[in-house]
Structure 1
Amino acid sequence: MIIKSEQFSKLLHELECCGEDEKKQKMEEMKRVMEELDYGEFKSVFTKELFDKIHQMIEKKKLSMENALKLLKQMGYCKALKYFSSRSFGESSLGKRFEKMMIDENEKKEEKDVNHLIDLCECYLLLEGLFSSKYHSIYMPFLLKVASKKEESKEVQKEVEMALLALVNTFRHSIKKELYLSEIVEIIKRHQEFNNLTRLACSSAWVFLINRVYSDKSLEKVIVDELHFARDATRELEHLSKCVDWKREKEERKGKETKEELIIFGWICTITCYLSWCKLRNEELTGLIVGIADILFAAKDNYQKISNVCIDLFKVALRKEAVKAEGLLSCGVVDAVLEGIQQPTLNDYFAFDGLRILKKISKSLKGKKRDEIEEVKGKEAKKKVFKKLEEEGYEDTITSFHKIFGFLNIRFWQTDLSLNISDYLVNV
């Protein structure tokens, strides 16, 4: 059996001692191998030693800077898609060299090589992320200019996608609105009108903007009322979900997640952040919750990673009161959780968070209502929930889990699961 990480290292070694035509072939092969690396294999490859080695190859003229940039951008692209986090590039001799090159190129008064500067910025952001505010004014104008290109050729779409994906790596850093807001709003609006971005580029634009809310709450109105985030996310997830073969067995998928699967995972993480940080809501959120319940239904058998982030999202939605308990019932979330925890292949994580959600729903329905109208609505909701749970054999399911409540609390270092069964039941 060929170990992909060893194959990648072998190809890099061979890259040192071959001609230009062969180098192109080797780099294409390396690109394919990188895409096939699973998370663990990628971690074993993505090291300081790797980047120090590439730096030596550049120094010894065994790898041109042009080829190095192509290879590194592809590494950064794969790193972003795999949601892999590492500081190894910034700690390497190559990372330090790139940092100096960016500053030197930007400070040139004449004959500034803008394309070279963009390549350097994309590489650094994709591989490391820029953590100092002094760099914001260097890379932001250039990358946003690339991301704002309107041509619809595949080559330009790829450039736009790469620029937006690089900007995602600014994480939650505080960045002045005047450096990005009008451009990113225009990029999202244009896609909403003309559908001109790739799915990854679209999700990246949204991730970048949602991440800014962490340090600037004034963006909520733009996100909810002007750009209609929930509506946009619902549409994007619906399209992506149709591209996934949800019945594909786990073993068949091992280490071979499709781009659509990875983008869905990223979208749900982003929506969870949105629910955590944004207090402003509108009626479009219901459609989004329904869409994610549908994904949980589809993913529960063979897609544990996606199932887990869906459960995380519903947990946050309840905690932040983004949706009421009766709303989760009408959206299909309760159905999805019940089916999920009754799966023969149930994992501890899903069991723990699924039971926490059911306990929160029960607690919410038992809570004191503020007025008579709300009390009447609450009783009606309780009747619906009770009927649904009774049909699903809910009480028997909870009872069957009762013996492991204590184990799950210890397993996840929590005390969230009450040992009292009545805390999970809904009485009319």
Structure 2
Amino acid sequence: MLKNAEMDNIKKFTELFCELEHCTKIGQKQKIIEMNEIIDEMNMEEFESIFTTELFNKMLEMIEEDKVSIYNAIWLLKYIMYYELTGDTSEIALRFSFLRDKFEKMIIDENEKKKEKDEKLLVDLCECYISTTNHISPDLTSICIPNLLKVALKKEENGKVRKEVEMALMALCNLEYLSIKKDLYLNEIKEIIEYHQEHCNLTQLAYQSAWQILISRLYSNGSLEKIIVSELHFARKATRELEESKRCIDWKRKEGEERGKEIEEEIVSLRWLHVLNLFFRCCQLWNEEFIGLIRSIVQIYRASRSNYRDICNFCICLLKVISIRKIAEIEDLLKSGAVDAVLEEIQRQTIDGNITCESSLIFLNISRRLKEKKKDETEEMKRKTTKRKVFEKLEEEGYEDIIASLHEVFSFLRRRFQRALSLDVSDYFVNT
């Protein structure tokens, strides 16, 4: 149910939008400034109530009938796209079907011009088009990516250029699951990251987006891993970014309280966690830098437990992914404080079934891994030593009694959240 204040935003925006076709181009600009200010105040429910298929069909009609200039329409659309790219809505791409077709034709037409090509319009069209879909033809890929990379490679540090670079990189993130030629454009992304590491010219969202573009290619190009881990020192840099975001968020803020500028820090943190999820699911290299990264995830997890459930849930899911991957040593989970943090959650026995489920799965993964004997004698001795450390920690905290007390709810949790949960409580125990 929308509140009165939310209805006011929807009403104001709708009225301004309807007035666009009756204004001069200058008048349209003023209306769009007011509309953008309303977008800044929207929550996701308002956003999805306003930006429907009908509204975008109307916008397309206004463009084709020359009632709204394409430049003003794109200005508004880029603002909408920025909100969408930094939010958690996932359906707006589907609502753009007719506009997408329009943009596709305009991109091809503008690109084919021999003279008087409007480079700025072409880039804006590419950004809007890519931001609405991750399904793009090879022909459009060969037009859009070079044009957006040309913007992303700009080195100037003034605010306008930084914003242009940010938008270009965020749009390119939408192409993460596409089948693009193996090494196409990766040198440019590497250059962008390296230049920022030396000169700090990117915004937080732009830097995160560049990493996301690179890491999303790991699924199809495993050779990138050495560059990411050893040359660009991803774990160390990501740790620094997470710690910076953590310092800028008021973790004691209650739900519903005004967030102000702090919202960008939340967005950055969530997007970094998303990138980490992509990375941990397929990485094969590991070094000491990852202990600090896991420690940062644990710290954010603890800080977010009370008032930032989205971040909290993402952190516990990340720790679960790490606990599954055998390249991550159980010893590293101990050193980073991950075992302690998850044990705290088990002891709390909150009413959040998802958190209880994920925490239980982490211990299930740890237990199973510690029970697997190693063929190598040195590795076997290491396993036994780690197993003893974990056992002693859990015994001290009365872990087995806690797990036993959850036995009756495991069946429910298994049905409701995760079929991977075992119904045999002994599977969660680390026996000596």
- Same fold by TM-score, threshold 0.5 exceeded? yes
Q: CA 1:369–1:177 in structure 2 vs 1: closer, same or farther (change >3 Å)?
A: closer
Q: Secondary structure at the match of 2:141?
A: helix
Q: 146-155 vs 82-91, which deviates more?
A: 82-91
Match of 2:422 in 1: 418
Among 256, 259, 267, the alignment partner of 2:264 is: 259
Written as runs of structure 1 = structure 2, the 5 A alignment for 1:153-192 is 153-177=158-182, 179-192=184-197
SS of 2:223 mapped into structure 1: helix
Paired position in structure 2 for 1:91: 97
C-alpha displacement at 1:271, in angstroms? 1.0
Q: What amino acid sits opposite 2:254 in the alignment?
A: E
Structure 1 residue 123: Cα displacement: 1.1
Q: 1:60 to 1:134 in 2, by over 3 A?
A: closer
Note the C-alpha offset of 1:44.
2.9
Q: Unpaired segments of 5 or more residues in structure 1? A: none
Indicate whether 1:276 and 2:281 are aligned: yes
1:22-421 equivalent positions in 2, closer than 5 A = 22-86=27-91, 87-92=93-98, 94-177=99-182, 179-252=184-257, 258-343=263-348, 346-412=351-417, 414-421=418-425
CA distance in 1, matches of 2:400, 2:12: 53
Per the alignment, residue 2 of structure 1 pairs with 5
CA contact (8 A) 1:51 1:89 kept: yes
Shift of 1:230: 1.4
CA distance in 1, matches of 2:256, 2:392: 38
Could you tell me which residue of structure 2 aligns to residue 427 of structure 1?
431
Aligned mates of 2:13, 2:377 — CA distance in 1: 67
Distance in 1 separating the partners of 2:13 and 2:398 = 52
SS at match of 1:16: helix
Cα pair 2:16 2:31 within 8 Å, conserved: yes
Say which is worse superposed, 53-62 or 64-73, in terms of deviation.
Answer: 53-62
Amino acid across the alignment from 1:426: V
Shift of 1:255: 11
Q: Is 1:363–1:423's contact at 8 Å kept on the other side of the alignment?
A: yes
Contact 1:122 1:166 in 2 (8 A): yes
Confirm or deny: 8 A CA contact 1:124 1:130 kept in the other structure.
no
Deviation at 1:221, TM superposition (A): 2.2
Moved more, 290-299 or 157-166: 290-299
Tell me the TM-score normalized by structure 1.
Answer: 0.92
Q: Which 10-residue stretch deviates more, 223-232 or 117-126?
A: 223-232
Decide whether the 8 Å contact of 2:25 with 2:69 is kept in 1. no
Alignment check: 8 A CA contact 2:135 2:178 kept:
no
Taking the aligned partners of 1:10 and 1:273, their CA distance within structure 2 comes to 42
- In structure 2, stretches of 5+ residues that fail to align are none
Q: Which moved more, 1:298-307 or 1:318-327?
A: 318-327
- 1:26 to partner: Cα distance: 3.1
Seen in structure 2, the aligned counterparts of structure 1 residues 215 and 378 have a Cα distance that, compared at 3 Å, is closer
Q: Distance in 1 between matches of 2:127 and 2:135?
A: 10
1:344 is displaced (CA, Å) by: 6.7
Check whether the contact 2:130–2:175 (CA below 8 A) recurs between aligned residues.
yes
Residue 256 of structure 1: how far off its partner (Å): 9.6
My pick for the range that moved more, 140-149 or 380-389, is 380-389
- Measured after TM superposition, the shift of residue 20 of structure 1 is 5.0
User: Partners of 1:340 and 1:36 in 2: how far apart?
Assistant: 35
Q: Is 34-43 or 66-75 further displaced after alignment?
A: 34-43
Q: Percent identity, aligned pairs only?
A: 50
Deviations 1:327-383 (A, max 9, x none): 212211112222234447542211111111111112222221334433333333233
8 A Cα contact 1:340 1:346, kept in partner: no
User: Conserved in 1, the CA contact under 8 Å of 2:56 and 2:96?
Assistant: no
More moved, 201-210 vs 244-253 = 244-253
Q: CA deviation at 1:56?
A: 1.9
Contact 1:36 1:256 in 2 (8 A): no
Given that 2:71 and 2:121 are in contact with CA atoms closer than 8 Å, whether structure 1 keeps it comes out as: no
1:102-122 deviations in whole A, cap 9, x for unaligned?
000111122211111001101
Corresponding pairs, count:
426
Whether contact under 8 Å (1:174, 1:212) holds in the other structure is: no
291-300 or 344-353: bigger deviation: 344-353
Q: Partners in 2 of 1:301 and 1:5 — Cα distance?
A: 31
Task: Tell me the CA shift for residue 21 of structure 1.
Answer: 5.3
DSSP-derived class of the 2:256 partner: helix
Q: How big is the shift at 1:131? A: 1.9
SS in 2 for 1:231: helix
Which is further off, 120-129 or 35-44? 35-44
Q: How large is the RMSD of aligned CA atoms in angstroms? A: 2.3
Q: CA deviation at 1:222?
A: 2.0
Q: Give the conservation status (yes or no) of the 8 Å contact 1:46–1:88.
A: no
Name the aligned partner's letter for residue 419 of structure 2.
T
Alpha carbons of structure 1 residues 427 and 79: separation in structure 2 relative to 1, 3 Å: same
Classify the secondary structure of the residue corresponding to 1:419. coil
